[in-house]
Homo-oligomer: A and B are copies of this chain.
Amino acid sequence: MLQNGDLNIMFLTTNGPGSASSSSDQENKSDDNFKNNYLDDYPKKNAEILSGQYGVNLLLVGISLMLALSNSESQVDKKDVLAFLVAVMLVQLFWMLWYIVKKKKHECPAPEKDIHAGTSWLRGGLTLLAILSLIMDAFHIGYFVGYEQCLSPVIGVFPAVHAVHTISQVYFIWVHVKDIIKTYENFERFGVIHAVFTNLLLWCNGVVTEADHVLQSYQKRQVDLGIGNMTLGNREPYCNCTTKACTIFLHSLYYLYPFNIEYHIFVSVILFVMWKNIGRTLEYQRKIKVVIRIAGIIIGPVMGLIAFSSSIGVLVMYIIQVGDSVEARESALNMFYCYGIIILFFMCTSGSIGLLIYRSENAPMDYSKIPSRKLDSELLFITATGSWLMSWCSIISVISTSTSPKYRWTSFFYSLLLIFEKYIQNLFIIESLHRKADNDEDEADGPITEIFSVSGGLTLSTNISLAPSFSGIINAAFESQERECASVKSDEENKKEEHIQNNRLSEESISLPQKSTKKLNKKRKIVKNIAIFLFMCNISLWILAAFGCRPQYDNGLEESTFGFSAWSTVVNIAMPLNLFYRMHSVASLFEVFLKV
């Protein structure tokens, strides 16, 4: 009842100022906006809470269903969960269709775009992950066709809907994710948050399936080695496969799951930024032309490649040895920990060097408001806690254990280094993202007229020619190629803004200092090497954890200290966070590499 009322009010204020999607967006506004705001009927802060609470409840319904599913005695079945997921995906599909059609109809004026949201390389990466997800869907459908007689139709419908959902969503992200929505805000808030939480639900579903698979294969190993006393349930359907490819499909699936899981969590993060952008008033921004220079970037990539290839070696060795015999398992674990200690030591060192380089420079920080960057920092911090919890548990179990396997102390130092590595890497990434881009990279280039980034203090390159570039700033937020219609802004507004801008620019250009550029160039090269090295290391550590290296189960130390059920709960919650952390820092480090 309430929501309808709110929507009606929203339609009346379509041309409102789009004020304050978050409390602080409000601040840099002229008195004009204040007046509009006063007359604005619907408080935007509440609009956010209204849709945010809906999204959280949607997620909680799904989590409750999955929790019930995990108890074998409950009446909730796999097909109930899948039916629920199909329903939420269909709702999202209809909403996206509505949005696309509406945008096509009202193409004028072109929507404002947030250039920081969903950069093209991020969207490219997502497309790759989406293709792998589509292959997974195909395998699922193949598996269903084989066992059609004895499987519920939902098991076949789910991958088909998921495939359609994936394709439409990738299209939507490519075309619309940068949009800053300013019309019908409340309805679109619900749509976007629904999309965010649909993807989070699909992520949860992937995580649960994956965790179940890992647990099963661990129990199978235990039974094979004659250690455990678990009974293995039969998960095969009760009929014969008609296509003879069912087993192949089933086994291949588990190599594709990690990609599907990463795909959904990344989509939800990107869409969350879109949601935060609704009703936002853009500050002046302009695209940064990224010129990737690889001169002098050798040590980082080489060391990174060494780390990557040795990881693959360790992965293969580990998987072969760990199920072989008790002694082989012990040596496999020891090898894994030793390898981990070496790679983490190098990561800590390089991160620290990066931070020391930053400390030795007097470069300014960029504290402007960019929702996507803020979210990046917060996600790095929050997802690191998963891995920290596991590490502290390991440390406590090593200290308190009465047994003393070969890998006891290597496990201890591995956990300790893991804590430091994430601590330092977070500091390095977050500081890198908040530093103002230097653009004295090449003095031979002549005067650079690019204006970097955003905010209450615009950053200028040191060699700036003010006059010619200036008039272009005002509408830089609109991507010029999309502006087929006449600009909506009145001349007066433009003049006013130009005036404010002018004042700022002239003030700031005075305070820009002169630096010795040669020295910086060298430092920058080191930081670039560090970023690319850490990038490769994080990929390596993601692969190890995603494809079966889980010493947290195999070493038995934590299990004896915390008990199997408590420890598997901790791992099942912390491991997905850890995997997301790795992938997310890969993305962030790539951004650092481009930016430095």
Contact = CB atoms under 8 A, between A and B. Distances in A.
**Which residue, of A39, A377, A419, A561, has the highest number of chain B Cβ atoms within 10 A?**
A561
Interface in A415-432: 419, 423-424, 426-427, 430-431
A43 interface: yes
A125 interface: no
A430 B52 CA distance: 13
Nearest to A429: B49
Interface string A392-420: 11011100111000000000000000010
A236 interface: no
Interface residues of A, number: 97
Contacts of A70: 566
Contacts of A352: 1-2
A405 to B, nearest CB: 15
Nearest to A394: B64
A456 B26 CA distance: 8
A60 to B, nearest CB: 5
A525 B125 CA distance: 56
A112 to B, nearest CB: 19
Interface stretch (A149-157, A249-257, A357-365, A544-552): A357-365
A461 interface: no
A419 to B, nearest CB: 7
Contacts of A400: 68, 74-76
Interface stretch (A101-109, A505-513, A585-593): A505-513
A56 interface: yes
A71 interface: yes
Interface of A: 1-2, 5-6, 9, 19-20, 23-29, 31, 34-35, 37-39, 41-46, 49-50, 52-53, 56-57, 60-61, 63-65, 67-68, 70-71, 73-76, 352, 355-356, 358-359, 362, 364-365, 367-369, 374, 377, 381, 384-385, 388-389, 392-393, 395-397, 400-402, 419, 423-424, 426-427, 430-431, 434-435, 455-457, 504, 507-508, 510-511, 513, 560-563, 565-566, 569-570
Given A56-B385, A61-B396, A76-B400, 6 more contacts: A23-B369, A45-B367, A53-B381, A64-B389, A64-B395, A76-B561
